[in-house]
Amino acid sequence: MRIVIVSQFFHPEPAITVNELCRRLVADGHDVHVVTGYPNRPGGRLYDGYRQRLRHTETWEGAIVHRVPLLINHDRHAARRIGNFVSFALASLLKTRIGGSADAVYVYATPMTAAVAPLVWRKLFDTPYVLHVQDLWPESVTESGMLGRGVVVRATDLILRQFVGRLYREASHVVAIAPRMAGTLAARGVPADRLHTSLNWADERSVSPVDRVPEEGGPVRFVYAGNIGVFQDVGTILEAAAMLQDLPGVHIDVFGDGTELPGLLERSRALTNITFHGRVPRTEMAEVYRRSDFQLITLRDLPLFRGTIPSKFQGAMAAGIPVVTSVPGDVNTLVSNHGVGLTARPEDPEDLAAAIRRAAELTDEERKSMRDQARNFYRARMSVDQGYARLRTLLERAGTSRVRSARHRLQKNGDPR
């Protein structure tokens, strides 16, 4: 089959799902083309060695990669972010010939505007697409705070609901990344026979199961690793750390960068039990995991996050590291049901501090049991093998349905041969 992957993000960016899907589709013998932007994530700057132009083609892991220009932006300025989303969506239409020749199209739907070109190809050529929803729209836009409040948000909500509703109706298959997200999509009209749930996987090339090597006489280490923005609620971790200063056997390490980091650094100056390390290369994450007793996973208390599973959760499970999380909804349910960590109420520093205390008091045997449960859960529900098999099956079904449809049209109209 000829499969076209459409994703605003792709190698050499850390696009874990798309990169691994591409590798495996090629290894399975499919003719794979990728329509993507010029690499700039996560720093918001064009990678060295690239220059934006209308046409650029390269080969990666046996796939043909077609890059299109876009307005580069990763800040919180509404007009610039919209420009980033829309510019890629429109530039992808330059690759309509490639999209029209596909047997099936895979859309990595973050942002959802990445599906604009596949929607057009569907209407022009009846090219089927599989929509892999990573973020719920319009909530991810209207609740971000970028648009302010009032009439602008209400108008945007109305427009985006119409837009994503059309995307769902035209998709051959819609894939949600969490059970509650699937429930929301079902409530919004996605038919059960076209709606699927597939938990995202971790970057298994850089994260593998590790056994914690305790420091001689050292503290129990709680690690937050990821973006430090307004949604991630790292401020609650900082406030919890202030409540734990009476507990010398606990230390919190924060790895990452983002818009909230400068303010958090200033607020943390008086604390000795939390250290901000800044961003570390992905190649060093194995060492970060090796030094972790627990991973901290936090998000703000917003309805859209109840059906979201942050990528750091997959990484922790793959490495066999228990978590302490304040993310409500699916993450809370998975952690509680599978015994892979402890939970706290969202945006509640006192409750998070209490959960960290409970975690620090666990015996070595109890921690080992949680590590084993985490690894078993990842292998059974979140591994690359599991997720790839689901996505490949859906793409092959979509491609097969197109062949059947073409044959039906030939029979109805008369085969010109």
2-201+383-413 has which CATH code? 3.40.50.2000
Exposed e or buried b for every residue in 279-309, given b needs 16+ CB within 10 A?
Answer: beeeeebeebbeebbbbbbbbbebebbbbbb
Q: Which pLDDT belongs to residue 291?
A: 83
Flag whether the pTM goes above 0.85: yes
pLDDT in tens, 214-262: 666 678 999 999 999 888 999 999 999 999 999 989 999 999 998 899 9
pLDDT over 90 percentage in the chain: 76
Average pLDDT, the chain: 91
C-alpha–C-alpha distance, residues 301 and 298, integer Å: 9
Residue 407 has pLDDT above 90, yes or no: no
> In this predicted model, what pLDDT tens digit does every residue of 176-187 receive, in sequence order?
999 999 999 999
User: SS3 string of 85-147?
Assistant: HHHHHHHHHHHHHHHHCCCEEEEEECCHHHHHHHHHHHHHHCCCEEEEECCCCCHHHHCCCCC
CATH 3.40.50.150 fits domain 220-380? no
Query: Residue 128 in contact with residue 401, Cβ under 8 Å?
Result: yes
SS3 297: strand
Give the separation between CA 267 and CA 201, rounded to whole angstroms: 34
pLDDT tier at 280, thresholds 50, 70, 90: confident
Rounded mean pLDDT, 360-368? 92
For position 410, what pLDDT does the model report? 42
**pLDDT tens digit sequence for 102-152:** 999 999 999 999 999 999 999 999 999 999 999 999 988 888 766 767 788
Residues of the chain with CATH 3.40.50.2000: 2-201+383-413, 220-380
